[in-house]
A and B are shown apart, each in its own frame.
Chain A
Amino acid sequence: MLSTLFEQSKPGRRAIGFAKGSIHSSQKIAAKHLRKNPPKLPEVAELEVVRHFTRASQLNYSVDTNFYPLGSCTMKYNPKANFRAASHPAFADVHPLTPAWANQGLLRVIRDFERGLLEITGMDSITLAPAAGAHAELVGILMAGAYFKDKGQANERRKIIIPDSAHGTNPASAVLGGFDVITIRSNSRGRVHLEELVKVLNQNTAMLMMTVPNTLGLFEDEILEVARLVHKAGALLYMDGANMNALMGVVKPADLGFDLMHLNLHKTFAVPHGGGGPGAGVLAARRHLEEYLPVPRITESTNGEMEILESSPKSIGRIRAFHGSVGNILLSSAYLAMLGKEGAVAASRTAIVNANYLKALLKEAGLKPFQDEPCMHEAVFTLDPKTLNGVRTLDLAKRLLDFGFYAPTVYFPLIVPEAIMAEPTETETPETLEEFARAVKTILEEAKTNPDRVKTAPHKLPVARLDEVTAARNPVIRA
């Protein structure tokens, strides 16, 4: 394993420097403010830095190098052309407090993109300020709070209903937004359980949060009835749009009855995941919730001038220091511009076909689909360790790494035992999916003939299986 740069450090060695001796005697600063012990940063030459991080990068699997069928994460290819937008010096160097009159071009690009997203979702108004999906969820939840406060129902409507198959961020965001969470279990078909919903839906309900397609890769086929019930109870309907990759040009969430929703630009709209971030979130809402959107917002005057709305009486306020993760917004705006009208629906179409194809292949390879019906953009499987000499989902995941594939999402959603969730995305070829299915088949056979080989995987990576128990018992989190 690579040693850290701290271990390579030699006192006095330098890479980048600036002019020395620059503080004049007239420029005073009291001794008590001055740092007594310099921070122990690595002291290395530039070549050492370059080699270290180049070698480090080579220890990673990535979309650029490997198939990455992580369910729920939408690891699609991130077209290089998108960086034309994000690294354009006219945009990358803009200070966040630059007045709108000097920033018309950038604001126009963002506004064009906002329009595109409104068209795809069918919503009426939008903010691109959230830093991630979970951040956007919080925005939606705070907006719901402000909406009910306005209606004089803040004290009654304290509960947010969330299905047990939801992303963990949903309940965590609801609590941060000051609401109580009611979890309802899914029905045997993996959808929202209507009877369970009716039991808990009442004048205390603020909102139902649903993921569409849900985390099992299934479309909530009773959504219109759910929407009717929720609205009849006076509550709002929220869509977790993490899986929007299945819906572009297939169906508009607003048409299904959603009042507000979020999108993850780092999933559907091709912002690279960057090893865990930065992402970017979007919150889109119907007209009746527009005035609660966070500030600042981009608006357009009648003469086509772009303006910044800094405050608004009913807005929930700011959710971060500045406008948004603009660099990522630019990546996505380039992506959508190159997809265009036909490309958007074609992307979702291929994502759905690919997922169903992969599902057929993996079923044939020996995995059991959670639900034997067409899926949307991803499919969930399970396996039975008892029939595989005790080989578990985790072992399969680790062994897949040896075959040059990143593992699917495992043990999520929580309601499926030994869950395996695979999402191929639209950018993979059938040949890659076939190769992946062959690897799964080989491993399931190996589990029967040589289970230890699977249980001790990976064998061909820079490190063998890591001891996470020791890491958590005695955390070492700095050099």
Chain B
Amino acid sequence: MDEQTATEQKLLQKIGVKSFEDLLPPIPKELLLPSLGLPPAKTELELAQYLDHAAEKNIPLKSFLGAGAYDHFIPQAVWDLTKRGEFLTAYTPYQAEASQGTLIALFEFQTMVCELFGMDASNASLYDGATALVEAVLLARRWFSEELALTPKKILVPRALHPQWRSTLSTYLRNLDVEIVEIPYDGKTGKLALRVLQNALQDPGVFAFVAGQPNFFGILEDMDQIGEIRTKTQALFISVVNNPISLGILEPPGSYNADIAVADGQPLGIPMTYGGPSLGLFAVKKDYLRRIPGRICGRTVDRNGQTGYTLTLQTREQHIRREKATSNICTNQTLCAIAATIYLSLLGPEGLKEAAELTFSKAHEIWERSRYIIARAGEPAFDHEEFFQEFIWKTRLPAERLEAICRETRLLPGYPLGRDYPELKDSLLIAATEKTSEADINNLAKVLNNYALNAIRTK
């Protein structure tokens, strides 16, 4: 008998049964202990070989993809610290006294989110930016029904908002009697059509409107004017920050009258890993504090009067309120929130400003370099008067040709917009970060040039 079997025998004896089978549920025998069609167990070495083999099938590419996920620089200390077993393998801090490390980090995280956004209160994070937007819309809806005893049914969402976020929003709202009204963008500037927004807000059936800075096309919106619009309506203003790093140089939502601000926190030290796990950032003005979804950490004192931290305002949550909870969310993204907190601590206000400026600068360098190419084989989709890290190049080459060029050059020049925006067929959303090097830009210029020549030949 091996050690394992002997141990099990000893335990079964104490339990008072003869065999493991005696512990199994009373259901027909033919349903119990089915044979599983799984491969045999791999050793750690075999696992490593399996992964390396798979990794070889992934083609390394230089990419200028952005569109909601950004390849920013991650300092070494971020994950060296985040991956400490004491953070990694702890549970939700329900026993606060044994979880002060996680809790103080979350308290700092909430403070940093408030500071970044210029808002009053934040939670301990949500799944990602798209679901944070959903929660913001649901908060606005509850605000009207609970605080104002009104049940308006419309929200205004820009067409130039991330298409996957809009799609997520409509999935969540499909059974909730809320109508999503799309606000178009101006065909010349690519900015939100403010007139249309203003007119739409005349409708008392609107409970919230959304605007992003910059918008999905990378273009800076006139947030001062949009904030002004908020002062003339009862509808709540939900502001989307496309990349929180931009807040190193851009005005924060709190300064333009946003009621709720959301963002995807991935750029703050979290690897892209094909889209997740990510980090939903969520902040509000103080009026909405008790309606925030998800976990919140608070500062308090222990019985000796010493400072300590605990989860608080838990009566909003599903484990207590069940069907009346502010949200169905149970987990948050603690580990990613800790990574973002460490990232922001390492950068500080100056480092964040530098990261934002460098990103801005690289994107504009690409823009300038590609302009003469664009003149030969395409045109900018909009005048792109002001943008942060992304712009759109409208090519004259059919998108189908893109793949061949990418495969050949091992470079992805941008995100093709045709699927989400038929009117922007054959257009690419091109992004830079502070990591974009001189050599990268030269390579991109070469590919775009190729592209241009191809387009001329195709004509």
Closest chain B residue to A478 by CB distance?
Answer: B111
Once bound together, how far apart are the Cα atoms of A116 and B250, in whole Å? 47
Q: A30 and B36 in contact (CB under 8 A), knowing A35-B247, A61-B90, A276-B334?
A: no
The distance from the CB of B34 to the nearest CB of chain A, in whole angstroms, is: 6
Give A96's nearest chain B residue, CB to CB. B275
Residues of B within 8 A of A342 (CB): 40-41
Q: Per-residue CB proximity of B100-144 to A under 8 Å, as 1/0?
A: 111011111011101110100110110111110000001000000
Q: When each residue 223-240 of chain B gets 1 if its CB lies under 8 Å from chain A and 0 otherwise, what string results? A: 110000000000000000
Q: Chain B CB within 10 Å — which of A53, A88, A280, A430 has the most?
A: A53
* Contact yes or no, A277 B333, CB < 8 A: yes
Q: Does B408 contact A (CB under 8 A)?
A: no
A26–B143 CA distance with the chains assembled, in angstroms: 45
Task: Tell me which residues from 64 to 83 in chain A have a Cβ below 8 Å from any Cβ of chain B.
Answer: 64-66, 68, 70, 73, 75, 78, 81, 83
Task: List B contacts of A381 (CB < 8 A).
Answer: none
Say yes or no: B274 contacts A98, CB within 8 Å.
Answer: yes
Q: Considering only CB atoms, which chain B residue lies closest to A246 in the complex?
A: B25
Can you list 17 A-B contacts with CB-CB less than 8 angstroms, sorted by A residue number? Answer: A2-B100, A14-B348, A56-B104, A60-B102, A83-B83, A95-B274, A109-B51, A169-B328, A219-B25, A274-B334, A278-B276, A317-B174, A321-B165, A326-B274, A338-B42, A341-B39, A458-B97
Within 8 Å CB of B181, what residues of A? none
A466 touches B308 (CB 8 A): yes
- Asked if A252 is at the interface (CB within 8 A of a chain B CB), the reply is yes
Most chain B C-beta atoms within 10 Å of own C-beta, residue among A34, A96, A407: A96
Minimum C-beta distance from A404 to chain B (A): 10
Docked-complex contact B330 and A116, CB < 8 angstroms:
no
Q: CB-CB < 8 A to B422: which residues of A?
A: none
Complex contact B251–A341 (CB within 8 A): no
Closest 10 CB pairs of A and B: A178-B175, A322-B275, A340-B41, A64-B85, A96-B275, A274-B335, A278-B277, A105-B57, A90-B55, A219-B25
**CB nearest to A118 among chain B residues:** B37
Q: How far is the CA of A274 from the CA of B106 in the complex (A)?
A: 12
B22 contacts the other chain (Cβ, under 8 Å)?
yes
- Does B287 belong to the interface (CB within 8 Å)? no
| Chain B residues numbered 313-355 whose CB sits less than 8 Å from any CB in chain A | 313-315, 317-325, 327-336, 338, 342, 344-355
B364 at the interface (CB under 8 A from A): yes
A119 at the interface (CB under 8 A from B): yes
Q: Which of A38-76 contact B (CB under 8 A)?
A: 38-44, 46, 49-50, 52-66, 68, 70, 73, 75
- With a CB–CB cut-off of 8 A, which chain A residues contact B318? 134, 168-169, 171-172
Bound CA span A23–B368, Å:
13
Identify B296's interface contact among A35, A278, A430, A477, CB under 8 A.
A477
B99/A94 in contact, CB under 8 A: no
Q: Are A145 and B271 in contact (CB under 8 A)?
A: no
B248 to chain A, nearest CB (A): 8
Q: Would you call A337 and B99 a contact (CB within 8 A)?
A: no
Considering the chains assembled together, what is the distance between the CA atoms of A1 and B335 in angstroms?
Answer: 21
Q: How far is the CB of B335 from chain A (nearest CB, A)?
A: 3
Complex partner residue of B121 from A39, A96, A251, A478, CB under 8 angstroms: A478
Complex: A98 Cα to B63 Cα, angstroms: 9
- Contact call B88/A62, Cβ cutoff below 8 A: yes
- Extra A-B contacts (20), CB below 8 Å, given A132-B329, A142-B171, A172-B328: A1-B308, A29-B220, A84-B51, A96-B69, A101-B407, A138-B172, A176-B176, A178-B175, A277-B335, A280-B277, A322-B278, A323-B275, A330-B273, A345-B33, A357-B11, A360-B14, A430-B10, A463-B306, A468-B312, A475-B298
Determine whether the beta carbon of B99 is less than 8 Å from that of A275: yes
**Residues of chain A within 8 A of B69, CB atoms compared:** 95-97, 321-322
Q: A401-B97, A466-B308 given as contacts; is B330 within 8 A of A132 (CB)?
A: yes
Residues of A301-345 whose CB lies within 8 A of B? 310, 316-328, 330, 334, 336-345
Q: Which residues of B sit under 8 angstroms from A28, Cβ to Cβ?
A: 386
> Does the CB pair B86–A62 fall under 8 Å?
yes
Contact B348 A466 (CB under 8 A): no
Bound CA span A19–B177, Å = 51
Contact status B85-A320, CB under 8 Å: no
Query: Which residues of chain B in 273-320 are interfacial with respect to chain A, using CB atoms and an 8 Å cutoff?
Result: 273-278, 289, 295-304, 306-310, 312-315, 317-320
Contacting residues of chain A (323-374) with chain B, CB-CB under 8 angstroms: 323-328, 330, 334, 336-345, 349-350, 352-354, 356-357, 359-361, 374
B335 adjacent to A46 (CB under 8 Å): no
In the complex the two chains form, is B115's CB within 8 Å of A137's CB? no
Tier of interface size on chain B: 35 or more
Q: Does A188 contact B (CB under 8 A)?
A: no
Is B77 an interface residue when CB atoms closer than 8 A count as contact?
A: yes
- Say yes or no: A412 contacts B319, CB within 8 Å: yes
* Residues A57 and B65 in contact, CB atoms below 8 Å apart: no
A273 with B92: in contact, given A33-B220, A278-B335 (CB under 8 Å)?
yes
Please indicate the chain A residues that have their CB under 8 angstroms from the CB of B20 in the complex: 349, 352-353
Indicate if the CB atoms of A6 and B108 lie closer than 8 Å.
yes
**Do B127 and A132 have beta carbons less than 8 Å apart?**
yes
Give every chain A residue within 8 A of B351 (Cβ-Cβ). 14-18
Judging by beta carbons under 8 Å apart, are B361 and A430 in contact?
no
Query: Is the Cβ of B348 less than 8 Å from the Cβ of A251?
Result: no
Contact with A along B348-370 (1 / 0, CB 8 A): 11111111011011001000100
B44 contacts chain A at the CB level, 8 A cutoff: yes
Give the contacting residue for A275; candidates B34, B92, B313; CB below 8 A.
B92
- Bound Cα distance from A119 to B35, whole angstroms: 10
Choose among A16, A168, A320, A325 the residue that contacts B168 (Cβ–Cβ < 8 A).
A320
- Say if the beta carbon of B195 comes within 8 Å of chain A: no
Closest residue on chain B to residue A81 by CB atoms: B44
The contact of B27 among A61, A119, A224, A357, by CB within 8 Å, is: A224
- For the complex, is A152 an interface residue (Cβ under 8 Å from B)? no
Q: Which residues of A contact B50 (CB under 8 A)?
A: 337
Contacts A98-B412, A145-B174: A374 and B89 contacting too (C-beta < 8 A)? no
A103 on interface, CB distance cutoff 8 Å: yes
Chain B proximity of A230: nearest CB distance (Å): 16
Please give me the residue from chain A that is nearest to B213 by CB atom: A33
